[in-house]
């Protein structure tokens, strides 16, 4: 998963000028020659392509609780070991439910009038198969026939009111074609209120139109943390959804036969894979370079996020190959359970809370292979100037921007809420969104020339953070983190994502 809410602080521009002065003061503090050595090592031929081939083509899609996920964890251990890690281990955590899709089937039927005498005339029934998949972590639906379909437009409260009685019916929800990161954020934000209204109106099930053209289906979830959702839900091919909508708009009745035989089980164990290069001077302090290893399974999870799991492994290899010995420890972590709600990284942050004062930065990649444009640093204006300095050697790859944005939707999130300095790679959309969680997210979509550059960036930034004379910034207190949320206008984002209440109560993030 990777959803992004861009937030801009009004004082960024003022800060930028202050930072020019600070930049001059701190320039030179990072050892750019070591960064260059790491970059050169990263750009050499490596097992990057073969590692990703094994993870995607051989193992395939990786949903926690499946054999493929177990094999992916074993892949991570083996790949880190082969890359030269000083140590490799796994850390287990629990996901509350297992979930897998059965043979979801949907047929739509409509009636139309034929008045040509030669054809007999009268009312004719016409059926067509609807290409549909279950929404992930949604409940099963036993086969039902002849459910009336109701179009609820965009699914606003006004749309539902206009649609009238939805009790016992399948509601069809319109969407817009996904083009930008903001569209993706909107897609996630839109679903919970629609589900609220569907539950309230006692709908039988929900059918969301796909946000991609050309019959592309993808795995979506509206469940926040691995819980089973409230209603059966399907995602239908955009072309089929639009056809049903046109029929309904023209006054035809449309019914569905629908079967969603999802398999749901009890708690499951999954695991994060953790490798280390031990620090030469301050081994108890650590930088984390992370990416999630799990994926959805309609495709093979190549752009999301196999390529970046392979990047993390290759960054370790590159640092070792460069001969550079980082002063602090670098932990290379492949998280699991990300797609079910950042469950693996949240579990890691909680399990390691007692040592997070020693965390010297968390870097995360989770946006396919679109060009990295910069990094978002989670509202941390205290180290904006130093971060710009660290990114300077990456200008050769067009990595230039350091933004204060606090983002949700990938594995830095719980570290950010714990007050740890975080760096999320901001990337061009490239081909990420059209293939996002989709049948088409496969190895052939990966831009390896670009991915090699990202290995270089990630390895260099990890070493730079590990080598700074002092950690780039302190661990913030609860109050300081909340201040950063307000300064970056992130409170509404956290509310929309259903996280704000848990933050305020202290259930999630740094304790008060």
Least distance CB 366 / Zn ion (angstroms):
4
d(CA 232, CA 203): 10
Using the rule CB under 5 A, give the single segment among 73-81, 300-308, 438-446, 470-478 that binds Zn ion.
Answer: 300-308
Q: If binding is defined by CB under 5 A, does position 2 make contact with Zn ion?
A: yes
Matching residue, tokens 């074609």 = 177
Q: If binding is defined by CB under 5 A, does position 304 make contact with Zn ion?
A: yes
Least distance CB 305 / Zn ion (angstroms):
4
Q: If binding is defined by CB under 5 A, does position 204 make contact with Zn ion?
A: no
Using the rule CB under 5 A, give the single segment among 99-107, 303-311, 347-355, 447-455 that binds Zn ion.
Answer: 303-311
Asked if 375 contacts 425 with a C-beta cutoff of 8 angstroms, the reply is yes
d(CA 425, CA 448): 17
Contact string 357-396 vs Zn ion (x = CB under 5 A): ---------x------------------------------
The residues that bridge with 7 in the sheet, in sequence order, are none
d(CA 16, CA 96): 45
Q: Between residues 101 and 366, which has the closer beta carbon with respect to Zn ion?
A: 366
Closest to 38 (Cα-Cα) out of 337, 451, 326: 326
Least distance CB 304 / Zn ion (angstroms):
4
Least distance CB 61 / Zn ion (angstroms):
13
Asked if 63 contacts 100 with a C-beta cutoff of 8 angstroms, the reply is yes
Asked if 52 contacts 412 with a C-beta cutoff of 8 angstroms, the reply is no
d(CA 300, CA 306): 8
Contact string 258-297 vs Zn ion (x = CB under 5 A): ----------------------------------------
Here the tokens at position 446 are 């990966």
Dihedral pair phi/psi, residue 260, rounded to 5°: -130, 80
Helical axes 307-322 vs 448-467, angle rounded to 10° = 50
Least distance CB 292 / Zn ion (angstroms):
6
Q: Between residues 2 and 317, which has the closer beta carbon with respect to Zn ion?
A: 2
User: Is 380 in a helix, a strand, or coil?
Assistant: coil
Of the residues 110, 175, 305, 340, which one makes contact with Zn ion according to CB under 5 A? 305
Q: How many residues line the site for Zn ion (CB under 5 A)?
A: 5
Q: Between residues 297 and 366, which has the closer beta carbon with respect to Zn ion?
A: 366
Q: If binding is defined by CB under 5 A, does position 417 make contact with Zn ion?
A: no
Q: Between residues 305 and 340, which has the closer beta carbon with respect to Zn ion?
A: 305
Least distance CB 48 / Zn ion (angstroms):
18
Helix, strand, coil % in the chain, rounded to nearest 5: 40, 25, 35
Asked if 218 contacts 210 with a C-beta cutoff of 8 angstroms, the reply is yes
Q: Between residues 322 and 340, which has the closer beta carbon with respect to Zn ion?
A: 340
Least distance CB 368 / Zn ion (angstroms):
9
Contact string 130-169 vs Zn ion (x = CB under 5 A): ----------------------------------------
Asked if 231 contacts 198 with a C-beta cutoff of 8 angstroms, the reply is yes
Q: Which residues of this protein are in contact with Zn ion, per CB under 5 A?
A: 1-2, 304-305, 366
């Amino acid at each position: 998963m990777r959803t992004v809410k861009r937030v801009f602080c009004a004082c960024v521009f003022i800060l930028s000028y202050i930072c020019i002065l600070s930049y001059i003061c701190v320039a030179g503090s990072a050892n750019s020659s070591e960064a260059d050595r790491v970059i050169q090592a990263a750009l050499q031929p490596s097992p990057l392509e073969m590692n990703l081939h094994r993870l995607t083509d051989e193992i395939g899609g990786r949903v926690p609780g499946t054999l493929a996920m177990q094999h992916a964890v074993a892949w991570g251990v083996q790949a880190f070991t082969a890359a030269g890690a000083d140590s490799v281990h796994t850390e287990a955590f629990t996901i509350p439910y297992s979930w897998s899709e059965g043979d979801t089937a949907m047929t739509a039927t409509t009636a139309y009038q034929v008045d040509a005498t030669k054809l007999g005339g009268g009312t004719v029934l016409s059926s067509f198969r609807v290409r549909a998949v279950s929404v992930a972590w949604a409940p099963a639906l036993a086969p039902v026939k002849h459910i009336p379909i109701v179009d609820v437009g965009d699914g606003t409260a006004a749309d539902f009111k206009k649609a009238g009685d939805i009790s016992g019916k399948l509601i069809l929800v319109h969407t817009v074609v996904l083009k930008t990161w903001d569209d993706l954020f909107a897609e996630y934000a839109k679903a919970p209120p629609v589900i609220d209204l569907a539950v309230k109106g006692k709908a039988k099930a929900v059918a969301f139109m796909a946000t991609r053209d050309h019959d592309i289906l993808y795995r979506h979830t509206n469940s926040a943390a691995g819980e089973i959702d409230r209603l059966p839900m399907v995602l239908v091919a955009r072309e089929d959804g639009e056809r049903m909508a046109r029929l309904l708009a023209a006054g035809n009745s449309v019914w569905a036969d629908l079967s969603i035989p999802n398999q749901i089980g009890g708690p499951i164990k999954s695991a994060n894979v953790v490798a280390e290069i031990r620090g030469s001077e301050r081994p108890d302090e650590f930088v984390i370079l992370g990416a999630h290893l799990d994926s959805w399974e309609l495709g093979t999870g190549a752009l999301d996020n196999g390529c970046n799991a392979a990047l993390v492994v290759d960054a370790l290899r590159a640092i070792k190959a460069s001969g550079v010995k980082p002063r602090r420890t670098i932990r290379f972590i492949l998280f699991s359970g990300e797609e079910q709600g950042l469950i693996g990284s949240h579990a890691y942050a909680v399990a390691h809370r007692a040592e997070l004062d020693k965390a010297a930065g968390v870097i995360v990649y989770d946006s396919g292979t679109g060009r990295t444009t910069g990094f978002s640093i989670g509202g941390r204006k205290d180290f904006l100037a130093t971060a710009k300095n660290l990114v300077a050697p990456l200008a050769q790859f067009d990595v230039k921007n350091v933004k204060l944005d606090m983002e949700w939707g990938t594995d830095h999130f719980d570290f950010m809420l714990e007050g740890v300095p975080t760096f999320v790679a901001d990337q061009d959309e490239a081909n990420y969104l059209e293939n996002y969680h989709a049948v088409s997210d496969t190895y052939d979509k990966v831009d390896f020339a670009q991915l090699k550059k990202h290995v270089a960036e990630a390895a260099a930034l990890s070493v730079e953070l590990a080598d700074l004379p002092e950690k780039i910034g302190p661990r913030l207190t609860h109050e300081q983190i909340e201040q950063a949320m307000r300064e970056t206008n992130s409170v509404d984002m956290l509310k929309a994502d259903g996280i704000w209440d848990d933050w305020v109560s202290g259930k999630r993030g740094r304790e008060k």
